[in-house]
Amino acid sequence: MNPNLASVMAAIALGALLLAGRSLNPPAAKSSPVSPSAAPGANPAATLVWSDEFNAPDGSAPDPKKWTYDIGGKGWGNNELESYTGRRQNVAIQGGNLVIQALKETYTGPDGVARDYTSARLKTQRLFTQKYGRIEARIKIPYGQGLWPAFWMLGDDIDRAGWPACGEIDIFENIGREPSIIHGTVHGPGYSGGKGISGAYALPGGYRFADGFHVFSVEWQPNQVTFLLDANAYKTVTPADLPPGAKWVFDHPFFIILNVAVGGDWPGPPAASTVFPQTMQVDYVRDYGQGG
């Protein structure tokens, strides 16, 4: 099949399935209940300072006043296998959700790199940043070996300081071979990559994160970052947790990122059993300030 035609047909199928209330993921053995929206947590004076509820008409692009894109297939420092695009085949509003769709297709991006998968990576860089507060999103993630969905943040000084000196807060990451586990991690100079300071949360009873929506959030305060799943705190990081002599770099504004990677050093490549297309559905993203 012509790759361009395949992409168009996939986009049409995406809209039809979501409008019908169906998931593109394989049927699950168990169905996890949909999580309620979590209220602002540690600071009762916190107020909503920024959000996207993704209520634009079906087929719309994400709000360009709130989101921009990383584009290309250069591996993104992790030997990822996808090319990120801003095409509606890979990212669109459907049924009140932001939908990021990973496709198996032959595609050459504007960077000239040919890849066998496409997906999308959205960010608020140069559009919105936040220092401290509660940042959360209600998300239903994809499922399958080789998939790597994430909701995370980078320091807004990345162009000057570089990574990891800018700091990175991974509000959640999931790799396909661990369908019931998420990871919350901070990275900085001297504690990046596999040395990042991390916590994990496992759903009980064999439930998978792909079986329903969950609220993924971080409570970020001076000298403290706490990771939460459905308002349940599971990991707190402070300067005392850093390696000796390492610098705490979570004291300046960060921007938000949503993406679905395919392959990479951590998850490994897709398997023959991995079904495509796969989608990550985002009901909302909300940023609560410190208040007070």
Domains of the chain, CATH where assigned: 3-25+42-288 (2.60.120.200)
Residues lower than pLDDT 70 in the chain: 1-45, 291-292
- Read off the pTM: 0.86
Say what the pLDDT of residue 16 is: 41
Looking at residue 290, its pLDDT comes to 77
User: Residue 2: its pLDDT value, please?
Assistant: 37
CA distances from 7 to 2, 99, 107, 222 (A): 9, 15, 10, 45
pLDDT score of 43: 53
Active-site positions?
Answer: 168, 173
Q: Give exposure, 140-174, as e/b (b: 16+ Cβ within 10 Å).
A: bbbbbbbbbbbbbbbbbbbeeeeebbbbbbbbbbb
Angle (CA) 159-129-224 rounded to 5° is 95
The pLDDT value given to residue 46: 73
